[in-house]
Amino acid sequence: MKHIAESTVRRLSLYLRFLEEGEARAQDTISSGELARLGGTTSAQVRKDLSFFGSFGKRGLGYHVKDLIEAIREILGLDKTWPVVIVGAGKIGAALAQYRGFSSRGFRVVGVYDRDPARIGQRLDGLTIRAESELERDIAKLKAQIAVLCVPSEAAQVLLDRVTKAGIRAVLNFAPSPLRVPKGVALRSVNMATELEILTFALTNRIEGGPR
């Protein structure tokens, strides 16, 4: 398959949200123009994004909402439930472990891990915080392929190496340090300070910060 830009995938995720809202309102079909208006893009962009993966629409009519939802779910790999482990049960890790937005979209947090004995054994929304030493065994047992890293910078690379050796193939990192991943492992990093800095750049340069 051709290479797909990250921006395309991000927009597909957005379209999916609008489609689900449409489905909830019993909307039957939707045009590329309407999706574009909702998503702040152009109809040509919507059609191009979808056309990478197939022909889902009907000329003169638009896209059938339910069919397109199913198609995009399959494209994004959301047609199954993904077990996710959260590494680090500090403030951010604990918040994410209880975040409803994950479970409502095909992700299931199956484990939360920390090295601090004071935290191990505490309960978070139906999950018990476990010792970091259990990570390897649990990842194998639970067949988890996705990890969310919420540990301090100093620990991030070591833990990333450990979880990828144990079978994790995708990592969402919240530590504010750049990480190296083995080939074949997907990595995304969210750096809160960088996000704020993009805003202060916009403020000091009086530029508009576009939607992401």
Partner DNA sequence: CCTTGTGAATCGTTTCACAGCC
Partner DNA sequence: GGCTGTGAAACGATTCACAAGG
Q: Tell me the C-alpha distance between 10 and 184, whole Å.
A: 20
127, interface contact from DNA, its own copies, none, CB < 5-8 Å by kind: none
Task: Categorise residue 134: left if φ over 0, alpha if ψ from -120 to 50, beta otherwise.
Answer: alpha
Nearer to its own copies, 60 or 211 (CB): 211
> Using CB under 8 A, which of 25, 59, 123, 212 touches its own copies?
212
| Least distance between DNA and beta carbon 4 (Å) | 8
For position 205 contacting DNA by CB under 7 A, the verdict is no
Q: Which of residues 87-146 bind its own copies (CB under 8 A)?
A: 90-92, 94-96, 98-99, 101-102, 105-107, 145-146
Phi, psi of 129 (to 5 degrees): -65, 130
Site string for DNA, 27-66 (x = CB under 7 A): ----xxx-------xxxxx-xx-xx---xxxxxxxxx---
Q: Which of residues 130-169 bind DNA (CB under 7 A)?
A: none
| Least distance between DNA and beta carbon 15 (Å) | 11
Residues contacting 16, CB < 8 A, separation 6+: 69, 72, 73, 76, 78
Radius of gyration in angstroms for the set of CA atoms belonging to the chain, rounded to a whole number: 20
Q: What is the DSSP string of 118-144?
A: TTTT-EETTEEEEEGGGHHHHHHHHT-
For position 198 contacting DNA by CB under 7 A, the verdict is no
Phi, psi of 57 (to 5 degrees): -100, 175
Q: Which residues bind DNA (CB under 7 A)?
A: 3, 5, 7-8, 31-33, 41-45, 47-48, 50-51, 55-63
